């Protein structure tokens, strides 16, 4: 965490931040803001599948105490209008989502929303984009490929972890990588570097018959399923029964795939629009980098910094907000 703050130059001096308090690797977010000089960090939490409110409070304050910033972090179970009127930056974090019209309308005119991932990955269900456009509140993505953040380099190890967990060795496996977005280079590199025989496709329709061991789905979510009944049938015509379909990103019809003879991984359902595996599955470092980068991008815009292609910050275009 100290290295991430130093490498990114994160400086939240004098700022008030509203973020989430969470467990596991995601415990770092409010602590990072305080470490970077925020005068006060409000960290909202609620019970969830990853821990109770008491678990979250304990983990957050233990880490904050270790780093000497516990006095500037306040854990909340309710968010008042007074708090919303005071914050400079709000993060688009799990416990806070969705950021509603009511919440956004109570923010200051100069507030900034930190998306906490790249702008092109924006999910409309996360926050009321119309309210942001009306209020002219920037929604700031983070350049995950910035050298000081470099989260994209972890995507290869992440998909390898999924395949290993599904029972495949990767080495020597014939893998169809279905990807239509910027995840393609790191995913392909991660798989080929461990000896997989990888063929890439930008759509299910482009897949051809072969002795596939697995298909990795990394298709950007849309209003309809990226792998529905028709796509499942096409894949079944191209592969033998028992081939594994790994859901890295992009919504799929798991029932249709199973009905067509595929094994589907992960075994349980994935929330719509979300990835099939968390970055934290390969350790805390990618989460520390991502959360620090997300805060740095929002802080940069809040301070009036210019948004450039090689910088930390990306803006979700206003035309995407109407």
Question: What confidence tens digit (pLDDT) does each residue in 281-311 have?
Answer: 999 999 999 999 999 999 999 999 999 999 9
* Per-residue model confidence (pLDDT) at position 49: 76
Q: Which residue has the higher pLDDT, 231 or 317?
A: 231
| Closest by Cα among 91, 125, 124 to 107 | 91
Contacts of 94 (CB under 8 A, 6+ apart): 20, 22, 26, 48
DSSP code of 277?
S
Question: What confidence tens digit (pLDDT) does each residue in 209-251 have?
Answer: 999 999 999 999 999 999 999 999 999 999 999 999 999 999 9
CATH class of 153-280: alpha beta
Q: Looking at domain 2-137+284-321, which of 3.40.1350, 2.60.40, 3.40.50, 3.30.2010 is its CATH number?
A: 3.40.50
| pLDDT of 322 strictly over 50 | no
60/52 Cα distance (integer angstroms): 12
Q: Are the C-beta atoms of 76 and 41 separated by less than 8 Å?
A: no
Tell me the average pLDDT across 85-96: 97
Question: What confidence tens digit (pLDDT) does each residue in 4-40 have?
Answer: 999 999 999 999 999 999 999 999 999 999 999 999 9
Q: Output the average pLDDT for the chain.
A: 96
* Per-residue model confidence (pLDDT) at position 47: 87
Which residues in the chain are classed under CATH 3.40.50.720? 153-280
Question: What confidence tens digit (pLDDT) does each residue in 45-64 have?
Answer: 998 777 799 999 999 999 99
The token pair that represents 13 in the structure block: 């001096």
């Amino acid at each position: 965490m100290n290295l991430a703050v130093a490498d990114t130059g994160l400086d939240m001096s004098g700022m008030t931040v509203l973020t989430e308090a969470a467990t596991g690797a995601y415990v770092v977010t409010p602590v990072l803001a305080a470490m970077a000089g925020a005068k006060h960090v409000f960290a909202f939490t609620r019970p969830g599948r990853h821990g109770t409110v008491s678990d979250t409070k304990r983990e957050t304050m233990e880490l904050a105490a270790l780093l000497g910033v516990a006095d500037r972090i306040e854990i909340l179970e309710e968010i008042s209008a007074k708090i919303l009127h005071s914050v400079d930056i709000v993060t688009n974090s799990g416990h806070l989502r969705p950021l509603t019209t009511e919440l956004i309308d109570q923010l200051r005119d100069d507030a900034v929303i930190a998306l906490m991932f790249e702008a092109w990955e924006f999910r409309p269900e996360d926050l009321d984009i119309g309210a942001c456009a009306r209020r002219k509140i920037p929604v700031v993505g983070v350049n995950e490929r910035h050298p000081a953040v470099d989260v994209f380099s972890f995507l290869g190890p992440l998909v390898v972890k999924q395949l290993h967990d599904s029972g495949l060795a990767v080495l020597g496996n014939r893998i169809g990588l279905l990807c239509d977005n910027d995840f393609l280079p790191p995913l392909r590199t991660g798989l080929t570097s461990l000896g997989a025989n990888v063929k890439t496709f930008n759509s299910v329709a482009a897949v051809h018959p072969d002795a596939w061991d697995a298909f990795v789905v990394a298709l950007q979510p849309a209003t309809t399923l990226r792998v529905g009944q028709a796509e499942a049938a096409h894949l079944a015509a191209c592969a033998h029964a028992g081939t594994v379909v790994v859901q890295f990103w992009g919504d799929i019809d798991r029932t249709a795939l199973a009905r067509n003879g595929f094994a589907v991984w992960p075994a349980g359902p994935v929330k719509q629009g979300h990835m099939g595996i968390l970055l934290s599955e390969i350790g805390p470092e990618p989460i520390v980098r991502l959360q620090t980068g997300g805060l740095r991008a929002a802080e940069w815009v809040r301070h009036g910094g210019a948004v450039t292609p090689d910088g930390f910050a990306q803006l979700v275009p206003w035309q995407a907000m109407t």
